[in-house]
């Protein structure tokens, strides 16, 4: 069921991203629905190249973009096909990520590469490194809290010495309370420093292998006037 909801969201998001390009005009959804109703086609039927070409010609479109979304082995994958209505040539584009929470960024990466396929403008991106872990803020917090802990430790040690040197009850009680407050403050400062240091370690380890969205492009069988275009792509794990 969650794949069904993505299948509804992805075309809407993708159309919005493609519309950002000044060189692309996206056909309104109402026009597409009208053609599908007229030809008694379903949206799923557009994965067939002949049906996509027929609808594209009726819409006076230059390109048709169709696709699927799936989850395989813990990876979310969006596959799309760009079909030239005039030549029938097709190019496959896909993006993959390990979490559905990156769906919008996946669509952004896919849209950028689709724009390049249709306009020839821009730079193809094979991967998008997601925002790294907040290592620097944790490091800054560790340094600040560490400096504060060092200062508080020295004050706590001085108060402890004052408390130990007290010789009468009048000076003993306030010296004890003061030493106790500074000791508690030192414990809290050390706890904050330890937590910040743990954050630095965890984030640093995660930054060694940051999460990425990967993209892939490959030509697939397409018919053109005067010949056939055929492409193969091999991928090693």
- What is the residue whose two structure tokens read 């496959």? 92
Residue 67, burial from CB neighbour count under 10 angstroms (0-12, 13-18, 19+): buried
Q: 79: closest CA among 94, 62, 58, 100?
A: 94
What letter does residue 168 receive in the DSSP assignment? S
In this predicted structure, what is the pLDDT of residue 167?
77
Q: Are strands 212-220 and 127-129 parallel, antiparallel or unpaired?
A: antiparallel
Q: Give the closest residue to 100 by CA, choosing from 3, 218, 199.
A: 3
Which neighbouring-strand residues pair with 84? 63
pLDDT score, position 48: 58
Q: What string of pLDDT tens digits covers the 237 residues of the chain?
A: 777 788 888 888 998 999 888 888 888 777 777 777 776 655 555 555 677 777 778 888 888 888 888 888 888 899 988 888 888 888 889 999 888 788 888 899 999 999 988 888 888 888 877 766 778 888 899 999 999 999 998 988 888 888 788 777 777 788 888 888 999 999 999 999 999 999 888 887 777 666 778 888 877 654 444 444 444 444 444
* Distance from C-alpha of 230 to C-alpha of 18, rounded to nearest angstrom: 27
Q: Is 5 exposed, middle or buried (0-12, 13-18, 19+ CB in 10 A)?
A: exposed
d(CA 78, CA 104): 11
Cβ atoms of 21 and 35 closer than 8 Å: no
Report whether 66 contacts 75 (CB < 8 A).
Answer: no
Structural domain boundaries of the chain?
2-130+211-229, 135-207
CA gap 160, 172 in Å, rounded: 11
Output the pLDDT for position 53: 75
| CATH number assigned to the domain covering 2-130+211-229 | 3.40.50
Closest C-alpha among 94, 64, 92 to residue 78: 94
């Amino acid at each position: 069921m969650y794949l069904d909801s993505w299948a509804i969201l992805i075309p809407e998001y993708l159309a919005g991203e493609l519309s950002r390009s000044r060189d692309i005009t996206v056909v309104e959804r109402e026009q597409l629905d009208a053609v599908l109703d007229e030809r008694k086609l379903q949206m799923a039927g557009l994965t067939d190249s002949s049906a996509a070409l027929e609808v594209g010609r009726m819409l006076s479109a230059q390109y048709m973009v169709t696709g699927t979304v799936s989850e395989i082995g813990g990876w979310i994958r969006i596959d799309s096909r760009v079909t030239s209505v005039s030549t029938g040539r097709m190019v496959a584009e896909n993006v993959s990520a390990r979490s559905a929470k990156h769906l919008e960024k996946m669509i952004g990466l896919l849209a950028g590469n689709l724009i390049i396929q249709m306009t020839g403008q821009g730079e193809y991106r094979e991967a998008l490194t997601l925002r790294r872990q907040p290592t620097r803020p944790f490091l800054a917090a560790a340094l600040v809290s560490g400096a504060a802990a060092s200062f508080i430790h020295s004050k706590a040690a001085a108060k402890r010495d004052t408390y130990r040197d007290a010789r009468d009850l009048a000076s003993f009680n306030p010296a004890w309370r003061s030493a106790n407050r500074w000791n508690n403050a030192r414990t809290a400062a050390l706890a904050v420093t330890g937590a910040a240091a743990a954050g630095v370690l965890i984030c640093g380890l995660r930054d060694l292998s940051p999460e990425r969205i990967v993209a892939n492009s490959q030509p697939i069988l397409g018919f053109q006037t005067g010949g056939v275009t055929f492409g193969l792509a091999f991928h090693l794990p």
